[in-house]
Structure 1
């Protein structure tokens, strides 16, 4: 008797719980990095004159925070929609679409922060490089978790046997 991953009812909630926990960890570490970051002002000389420009928190850090907040909504939606509305076809396709958006946003998020950190030691203004590197690693693991759950969700939707709604009269 073989049991596929899509038929395992215990694996899916465990993966969703890990996604939820990692999203909270990423919110904490990325939030700390954003909080302690000290922006800097630089004088920029142009042909028409010079000006002072303020450089604040990089946008990639904020996007990683958005990915973590989005993940909490995705996990709640997937758990509710997977159990309560499993027989509706449009909910199944919506589940796949939400999963795909989360998967792609996590891929873009951790890659953007990793490219922003670079391979050098902590540059000037990056007080909390350790927290940001931890958030990047957890973001990569979160992306891998979404790769697994996206595969499970797609296979569950494609292999589901929906019953047509019958009238009670």
Structure 2
């Protein structure tokens, strides 16, 4: 669901960039014979920059995954958001200084429209920046699952630990006493056929 929201905002960002591109180009064309409006030029630059940013954000994951970096994505989102914020604020501040000659075209209405659509573009980029940052940091903070350890199986040398005769008893050998000598059973306790014989008391 989050991917669909971001994709929708990407489309809105592209459409707003096209709209601002056309309106700001009109404002620049009206003032070009007499004066240069830096704020309108900056909005025009923002529109062109937005196409470059969208190309990086949308195309690199599909065609150039090696160039798609998490920090690069956040940097492009943040820079573009700041550009749009500075652009529409600057143009809105310049509009009261515009003067129209009745004999020529008046770009005040177009300038207001460019600033308004620039503000919407800023909100769109602010939204994608917030959602992208949350998504990236959630992946970064997600604990990695540790592989389960295999159960420890005692080695043959560990079976006699703490009990010197334990290993020998398991395999049917006579136990070894503390001095390290092998304890042999009394032969008199067994008959010739290997059966146990009770000694007379």
Aligned pairs (5 A) from 1:14-53: 14-37=8-31, 39-40=33-34
The 3 A distance-change label for structure 1 pair 37 and 157 is: same
Give the structure with the larger strand fraction: 1
Aligned residue number for residue 135 of structure 2:
156
Measured after TM superposition, the shift of residue 156 of structure 1 is: 1.6
User: In the aligned structure 2, how far is the partner of 1:65 from the partner of 1:96?
Assistant: 23
User: In the aligned structure 2, how far is the partner of 1:98 from the partner of 1:85?
Assistant: 16
What SS class does the counterpart of residue 123 from structure 1 fall into?
Answer: coil
What SS class does the counterpart of residue 2 from structure 2 fall into?
Answer: coil
- Runs (4+) of structure 1 moved beyond 3 Å? 81-86
Q: Which has the larger radius of gyration?
A: 2
Structure 2: gaps spanning 5 or more residues: 145-201
User: In the aligned structure 2, how far is the partner of 1:68 from the partner of 1:130?
Assistant: 19
User: In the aligned structure 1, how far is the partner of 2:25 from the partner of 2:54?
Assistant: 20
Aligned residue number for residue 166 of structure 1:
none
Aligned length: 139
TM-score w.r.t. length of structure 2: 0.62
Aligned residue number for residue 111 of structure 2:
132
TM-score w.r.t. length of structure 1: 0.73
Does structure 2 conserve the Cα–Cα contact (< 8 Å) formed by 1:102 and 1:146? yes
**CA deviations over 1:4-33 (Å, ceiling 9, x no partner):** xxx522111110000000000000011011
Structure 1: gaps spanning 5 or more residues: 1-6, 41-55, 164-169
